[in-house]
Structure 1
């Protein structure tokens, strides 16, 4: 019987994939000695796109022909370098954008309507019969979307149904867009009540949402990030929140992940989730099927179903 192809799984949180891959492949964890011992013989590497793949790892895998990114995002992979080495790269194209959009809208509602805060007040015995907690309406609010890709479009459709006013900015005009593109990111922030970061991260846009953009959003503005932590100047955001120069923030992604609880302990007006916007049962099932399809195509010598373009 011919040996099964060796597939290395890069990160511990992807460990459940090993059982899924084992019927067809010799699937081994990179974080254990069994995986390290067979790096030189591995033909495929399964990774999560938010984690950087070090060049020395690829150097240790001379037979590597496919980097199969389990996630939609692939910013941790130097695609150009991989292609120079003759390595193909796949990802889970559009597997979870609707779920990420749901999460983004949920965070906006929760923060603007003070839902999590109200829960804390009630549980702490702070509900007073003679005082009503007032929150901010979403109808008519201006939402500015940074990056009108799959996630941005899905959020815009939901926001439109909620009677919000929609604007967006991205480096590339989209003449077919139903919503106006701001001239600059600063102009978008100045005109918005809510600024949503939904852009794809790459080396050229780190810190895209800067201290100046945060200040342009202003003391009543809400900043939401469901894209990548590196797109936002997180230190500047924390300073602005502490100094009340911005109204609030709702974050699912961070500059360093996992982020430290201590970093946010005294930061006011924040709603935080642990990078779970796209992690639904349905999305994970779609990503798993795409992963299996890309691996099967690669080992069969066929075109990848969802290559990184």
Structure 2
């Protein structure tokens, strides 16, 4: 397979680059002085694409420049950066990295939830600024007595729920349909879920189908004691509506790991005292990123070894 041309539009972890270099003819598009000229000269030979969110849109326009493309192996479980339907129309396989990051994202979600409700970053700053000797840190809200709604009870959502069961809280969820084997309360719309809970955790896929799923109506339903935690995609939340809700007291607080225009975070969010902001850390541990990278390599190796994809996305499965 060493003569099989693989294109990597944007950098990935060094271990992924090294592994693909050993197995394929890897082309690093970000190192090319003129990416357009490179694609014009070499695009017809590219058979595989190793993509991530830094690669930008992987869509029909790019596919047209890669007529021999067979597979797009995405570094991440979310693949809203890839037009999977356009790939399917062209017979191009798309894979992602499910499973290997579920536990890490679930752990991070619990940490972000606790940090937001108990105001842990604010308390850390209070100590560092030398304010503790002059007055105790103000009492925080609590997780006690809360109902937590999970918007998207997929593999990661279920892991989040299992962890929350140990906190003795009531759980509810919304998804495309009720799950027969799930005992948590089901609500048939996001507004209904928000009305029934006072913590809302978003863990749905990105893309057009979930854009602004959490809007002003959902935030009003969540209420003045409500806390939003978004570990899904920034597009899932109407960001201006969220800012207004945090400023006006429509909701109590928010913990955000994702944003509408990453890595740009609106100044209005940065200025708010009732929001905890993380730089998209969901799966960002050395252990999990290594597992994700290995799955990218394994998908490409399996495909070009004639064994098919390991983790195809539904549109191209």
TM-score by length of 2: 0.91
Q: 3-state DSSP class of the match of 1:46?
A: strand
Q: How many Å apart are 1:95 and its aligned residue?
A: 1.6
- Which deviates the most, 149-158 or 33-42? 33-42
Q: Does 1:52 align with 2:57?
A: yes
Q: Given that residues 253 and 274 in structure 1 are in contact (C-alpha distance below 8 angstroms), is that contact kept between their aligned partners in structure 2? A: yes
Correspondence for 1:82: 87
Could you tell me which residue of structure 1 aligns to residue 70 of structure 2? 65
Question: For residues 263 and 47 of structure 1, do their structure 2 counterparts lie closer, same or farther at Cα, with a shift above 3 Å needed?
Answer: farther
Distance, in Å, in 2 between the alignment partners of 1:240 and 1:261 is 15
The structure whose RCO (Cα within 8 Å, separation 6+) is larger is 2
> CA 1:289–1:17 in structure 2 vs 1: closer, same or farther (change >3 Å)?
closer
Deviations 1:216-274 (CA, angstroms, capped at 9, x unpaired)? 11122110000111111011001111122111110111111112363533223110111
> C-alpha displacement at 1:4, in angstroms?
1.9
CA distance in 2: counterparts of 1:183 and 1:91, whole angstroms: 28
* Aligned mate of 2:151, from 127, 133, 146: 146
**How do residues 165-204 of structure 1 correspond to structure 2 at under 5 angstroms?**
165-204=170-209
Whether 1:244 aligns to 2:249 is yes
C-alpha contact 2:172 2:184 (8 A) present in aligned 1:
yes
User: How do 1:66-145 residues align onto structure 2 when only pairs under 5 Å count?
Assistant: 66-128=71-133, 130-145=135-150
Q: CA deviation at 1:129?
A: 5.3
Q: Name 2:23's counterpart in structure 1.
A: 24
Residue range with higher mean Cα deviation, 98-107 or 252-261: 252-261
Contact conserved, 2:13 with 2:293, CA < 8 A, in 1? no
Structure 1 residue 175: deviation in Å? Answer: 1.2
Residue 141 and residue 57 in structure 1: after superposition, are their counterparts in 2 closer, same or farther (change >3 A)? same
Is the 1:241–1:268 Cα contact (8 Å) retained in structure 2? no
Change (3 A) 1:13 1:285: closer
Counterpart in the other structure of 2:215: 210
3-state SS, counterpart of residue 61 of structure 2? helix
Give the Cα separation in 2 of the matches to 1:258 and 1:15: 22
The corresponding residue for 1:258 is 263
Q: For the residues of structure 1 that align with 2:289 and 2:137, how far apart are their CA atoms? A: 41
Unaligned 5+ runs, structure 1: none
Give the alignment's TM-score, normalised by structure 1. 0.93
How many residue pairs end up in the alignment?
308
Q: Deviations over 1:149-193 (max 9, x none)?
A: 011111111111011111111121101102110232112112212
Question: Is the contact made by 1:9 and 1:15 (CA closer than 8 Å) also made in structure 2?
Answer: no
Structure 2: 5+ residue stretches without partners = none
Cα distance, 1:88 vs structure 2: 0.8
